[in-house]
Amino acid sequence: MRLGIFLPDGTVIGDVALQDIDWVHRSCSLGYGLTKLEYRGKGYATDAVRAILRYGFRYLGLERISAITQEENIGSQRVLEKCGFTLEGRERKAKYLAGRRHDKLHYGLLIEEYTE
C-alpha cells in the first residue's frame, strides 16, 4: 500500500508505504521518502508516517510494523522515534554505498506501544 505525500497545492513531494504485508503474522515494513532536500525537516514525513500507522493498526489489523534506516540518516531516525518506534538492533556494515560500508538500523513498533 503506497500513498503520496502532497503539499496543499497538490504538488507531490514524496510517498509513504506499508510493504511486504504478512497477513498471517499481522506485520509489515514501513517505507517513506521525500523527493527534495528542501522538504525535509518540516514534519511532512512524520505526518505521513503517523497517518499510515493509524491506517495499518486501526483498519488493517496489523500488530507489528518495522522499518530500516541507515546509521547516517538522522532525520529518518527522528521520524521513527517521534512516531513511537523502538531501535531493536543494528546490522553492522550491512550496506555498501559510495565506497564504504554502512550500518543498518532496525526499528519496530507494536500495536500495544502505538499511540495516536
Q: What residues pair up with 84 in beta bridges, in sequence order?
A: none
Residue 18 grid coordinates: 506499508
Give me the pLDDT at residue 75, please: 94
User: Cβ atoms within 10 A of the Cβ of 73, count?
Assistant: 14
Share of the chain above pLDDT 90, in %: 93
Give me the pLDDT at residue 21, please: 98
Task: Report pLDDT digits (tens) over 12-59.
Answer: 999 999 999 999 999 999 999 999 999 999 999 999 999 999 999 999
Residue 61 has pLDDT above 90, yes or no: yes
DSSP state of 97: E
97 falls in which pLDDT band (50, 70, 90)?
A: confident
Give me the pLDDT at residue 28, please: 98
The whole-model pTM stands at 0.92
115 falls in which pLDDT band (50, 70, 90)?
A: confident
CATH superfamily of 2-113: Gcn5-related N-acetyltransferase (GNAT) (3.40.630.30)
Domain residue limits, the chain: 2-113
- Among all chains, which residue has been given the C-alpha cell 538492533? 89
Give me the pLDDT at residue 111, please: 97
